[in-house]
Structure 1
């Protein structure tokens, strides 16, 4: 697939996850589902509330239960072979990486009733995007009214730390690079991870983190990897462990010499490289790890569950837990925060002590009196459908008020255009050599890992030609942050690829979808 050294392909490190629309089925809750218990504690646990000195009201606990979780990078959308693995493993929750827009099909073929493409999750239980989460995590209702918290992320692959180290870079410089590319991204999530653990939630974090663990580069492992002569405190694992999360695989397999648990190679394990463990399943709060297994190819090192064929370039990790879920707090949760124009929006409200209220849809940041859509609701909790068919593509807030009009909770969502008719623009049409190019877009498709690439004007077909400089629309944080329908980027000396500065000539700048090569729009510029 690659055509030159800068081709935008991830055959050795795995592509970043692409997250499109979400269709987890809140509406599957029926009248037989009693919903959240009446004694559920107030407040949604937002970051603003967690910064106060008051301790949160302890959450009511559900029944202790066993829960299995799988983290699986299926490689470039996967296919029927990866679907077969997911179906056979049958985990309760799956953090899927690189599913792109095929997750609905995967859910159908594997029998999962709930999925969230924005967060790349399959689940046997309802998935909620709660107010206060800002699209960074979900609450999964594993018992009626009782939930666990679930994060799933994919960190950027560029400037892979072990490769820099083996090429002679000093450890401190490698870790400084990691701070820019990956640690800053995981720190988008760690405040919420910490808050949820402190409040008493069972918390799970799955993902392809594109970085080894500090638990694997220890004094005991020196000599296992050719050329590695240092103990390396890899920064992403250090940041996650500091929140109180536990590496479930290392809990069950604490000796990295006896069981390295390699999920990917540097070089590729299929070619005989020693490899690294970069796919993880972390757990925190009231969740005790019972088992943790490597899932992969027949005969693979330390592979517990073998499959033939095994087509992914990553191995997967399956862990089981003894979990005590907690009561759903006051919340206004959405079944998805990114919809396509014309679709309805499913919402769950839980407001103990409030028998009547209204859900308003307002322009982003607006107040209830600016509502463009409203739905009256009754009862302390329930589900409803919000009609958004008259709304144009843009960002909106959805607001829950009590009977007196006081705001209780707020969430947000995006409506994207039904067509790929993005409005892409630059601040100028002609630039001097070395002058940064400011690119903006609106009415975008809002996929995670969308990217902007610069091509020579006479070789500008993304399906066959090579790009020059490029960048993700979400930057290095694209795998952690929820995507939006508008944004901006500076093409310059901080851009990926080469050359910079661009030499004099004519160029075409494409907005490309989902870490691949389908263009949603372009704009032409000249450098002179």
Structure 2
């Protein structure tokens, strides 16, 4: 009887050991998945246009708990290095981030930056792309920040405005060939082609690729048959060059992956209704509805990276025809704190990163 009890006890301990090992393996697997938040943030001249705007940028980064942030409109005003300024401001509030000097576009990371380069340097304010290789707990991420050429902004043509002078045209332009031609007179396509070529090389090296940018150009996924008579598209259905090319090379638009319908979820990022700013500073085409989605997060599909969700950070309201409007949509918003620092809305995407 005693031997039988010993055998049963031994079996019990073996069973407990087996269960413990399973739990350890399960926990180890869980520890190998983290949430990675990516924020695309046009900060409107470093937040200087809005009173207390810079502090608001800092507060929104802390509030979203973003891991990787791509900035548009980094100017380093008065010889002050914006990267150093933002790191110190975050540190003063108990948050550690990494950044390196840049111009026009900038990158901020909770994780160490291995190296950073001006992939497409700004020249005569025709846009830029900054790239950093970031070590996220042993996984290397090629993270890109884009702020593309704002001139020849062809999205204004169907709305009856010139896309470089923003003067009202004699008539709207709905000829797709003319719109494409004007669009290609910008330097946005050169910047995107540079990004794609570089990103494909990074993918070959086994790195994850994420891009955040204010592209100053809409998406081909947004100007479709279903909304051709909305938002002053005036019947135009157009395959906007740069998002179409990014998609052709395998990259995914985070917002449209989660919300594929641009009618129910237009995802407008510009122009945002900022209640602290006079309407005349927000409306570039005062007689038109120029609401559009021009701020994006793109990523290269990889088994290590799974998109979880995407949201708009910023006010629900927009600006249309020189008025503050509230479009009834199904978009999911994270509404601002007391001060919103910019005329854009930001995009926040969350990923599960597997090690």
**TM range, normalised to the smaller chain?**
0.5 to 0.7
Is 1:183 the counterpart of 2:199? The answer is no
Aligned to 2:216: 210
**Whole-angstrom distance in 1 between the partners of 2:190 and 2:180:** 12
Aligned to 1:81: 56
Against the structure 1 CA distance between its residues 249 and 133, is the aligned structure 2 distance closer, same or farther, given a 3 Å change threshold?
A: same
Please tell me whether the aligned partners of residues 93 and 123 of structure 1 are also in contact (alpha carbons under 8 angstroms): yes
**Whole-angstrom distance in 1 between the partners of 2:116 and 2:89:** 27
Is 1:253 the counterpart of 2:237? The answer is no
**Whole-angstrom distance in 2 between the partners of 1:210 and 1:74:** 14
Larger relative helix fraction: 2
Please tell me whether the aligned partners of residues 70 and 317 of structure 1 are also in contact (alpha carbons under 8 angstroms): yes
Aligned to 2:83: 103
Which among 211, 226, 231 is matched to residue 225 of structure 1?
Answer: 231
Aligned to 2:141: 148
Aligned to 1:94: 69
Describe how 1:45-84 pairs up with structure 2 within 5 A.
63-78=32-47, 79-84=54-59
Please tell me whether the aligned partners of residues 296 and 303 of structure 1 are also in contact (alpha carbons under 8 angstroms): no
Aligned to 1:237: 243
Secondary structure class of the residue paired with 1:81:
helix
**Whole-angstrom distance in 1 between the partners of 2:332 and 2:341:** 15
Which among 128, 151, 165 is matched to residue 158 of structure 1?
Answer: 151
Describe how 1:348-497 pairs up with structure 2 within 5 A.
none
Please tell me whether the aligned partners of residues 83 and 106 of structure 2 are also in contact (alpha carbons under 8 angstroms): yes
Please tell me whether the aligned partners of residues 217 and 232 of structure 1 are also in contact (alpha carbons under 8 angstroms): yes
Aligned length: 263
**Whole-angstrom distance in 2 between the partners of 1:134 and 1:185:** 6
Structure 1 residue 65 displacement after superposition: 2.7
| Superposition TM-score, scaled by structure 1 size | 0.46
**Whole-angstrom distance in 1 between the partners of 2:202 and 2:131:** 11
**Whole-angstrom distance in 2 between the partners of 1:273 and 1:72:** 23
Larger relative strand fraction: 1
Against the structure 1 CA distance between its residues 246 and 227, is the aligned structure 2 distance closer, same or farther, given a 3 Å change threshold?
A: closer
Structure 1 residue 131 displacement after superposition: 9.2
- Mark the runs of 5 or more structure 1 residues left unpaired by the alignment: 1-61, 326-528
Is 1:290 the counterpart of 2:319? The answer is no
**Whole-angstrom distance in 2 between the partners of 1:303 and 1:251:** 14
**Whole-angstrom distance in 2 between the partners of 1:244 and 1:227:** 27
- Mark the runs of 5 or more structure 2 residues left unpaired by the alignment: 1-30, 48-53, 77-81, 122-129, 161-171, 273-279, 318-325
Secondary structure class of the residue paired with 2:157:
helix
Against the structure 1 CA distance between its residues 220 and 138, is the aligned structure 2 distance closer, same or farther, given a 3 Å change threshold?
A: same
Please tell me whether the aligned partners of residues 201 and 285 of structure 1 are also in contact (alpha carbons under 8 angstroms): no
Aligned to 2:100: 116
Secondary structure class of the residue paired with 2:307:
strand
**Whole-angstrom distance in 2 between the partners of 1:269 and 1:303:** 24
Against the structure 1 CA distance between its residues 285 and 195, is the aligned structure 2 distance closer, same or farther, given a 3 Å change threshold?
A: farther
Aligned to 1:171: 176
Aligned to 1:322: 352
**Whole-angstrom distance in 2 between the partners of 1:190 and 1:125:** 24
Please tell me whether the aligned partners of residues 159 and 289 of structure 2 are also in contact (alpha carbons under 8 angstroms): no
